[in-house]
């Protein structure tokens, strides 16, 4: 499958060392120096959502207000649901990846879009409530573009649990 993916920067041996350094000393002693097993490379899908937010300043004369347009880029991890706003989309390369190496998404695309919109509205409302100087009214949220990129992770098995390390 041809996809956009982020470049791999961490080698397998470095990932093993990183996991071993992060393991607490008590766990190493208690579990008889178990090592990370079955380390392999998998890709997690990230949805990149680009929104346009239209707002206007709240003042006494609403007829003379100009609309303010803001563009926001949000990246959402489809495996665990974490999202964050970014200034720009990471640099990607086209790569062929086997479907067996792609981590299955746990969240549907429609659910992601609605949750991100609700988060934007809540953040905007909190900002308006906390700011007494610059009051703004949210007029519209429009989804401009949605795309997928894949981020590589080294995944190992340590004592029956999956351990993720950025690749």
SS3 content of the chain, % helix, strand, coil (to 5): 25, 45, 30
pLDDT tops 80 at residue 35:
no
DSSP designation for 21: H
* DSSP output for 98-136: -GGGBPPP-S-HHHHHHHHHHHHHHHHHHHHHH-SSS-E
Please give the pLDDT value at position 25: 55
Tell me the whole-structure pTM to 2 decimals: 0.79
Contacts of 60 (CB under 8 A, 6+ apart): none
- For the chain, the domain total comes to 1
Instruction: Tell me which of 141 and 29 has the higher pLDDT.
Output: 141
Name the least confident of 53-62, 97-106, 130-139, 155-164.
Answer: 130-139
Do residues 53 and 124 touch, judged by C-beta distance below 8 A?
Answer: yes
Could you tell me whether strands 161-166 and 2-5 are parallel, antiparallel, or unpaired per DSSP bridges? Answer: unpaired
Percent of the chain with pLDDT over 70: 81
Q: How far is CA 99 from the centre of its chain?
A: 21
φ, ψ for residue 60, nearest 5 deg: -70, -35
Please give the pLDDT value at position 167: 76
* Gap between the Cα atoms of 157 and 163, Å rounded: 6
Enclosing domain of residue 126: 2-166
SS3 55: strand
């Amino acid at each position: 499958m041809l996809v956009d993916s982020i470049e791999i920067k961490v080698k397998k041996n470095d990932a093993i060392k990183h996991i071993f350094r992060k393991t607490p000393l008590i766990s190493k002693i208690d579990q008889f120096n178990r090592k990370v097993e079955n380390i392999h490379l998998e890709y997690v899908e990230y949805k990149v959502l680009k929104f346009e937010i239209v707002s206007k300043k709240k003042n006494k004369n609403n007829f003379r207000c100009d609309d303010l347009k803001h563009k926001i880029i949000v990246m959402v991890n489809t495996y665990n649901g974490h999202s964050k706003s970014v200034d720009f989309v990471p640099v990607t390369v086209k790569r062929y990846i086997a479907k067996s190496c792609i981590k299955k998404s746990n969240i549907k695309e429609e659910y992601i879009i609605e949750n991100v919109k609700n988060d934007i509205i809540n953040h905007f409302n909190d900002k308006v409530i906390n700011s007494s100087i610059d009051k703004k009214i949210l007029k519209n949220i429009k989804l401009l573009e949605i795309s997928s990129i894949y981020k590589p992770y080294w995944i190992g098995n340590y004592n029956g649990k999956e351990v993720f390390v950025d690749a």
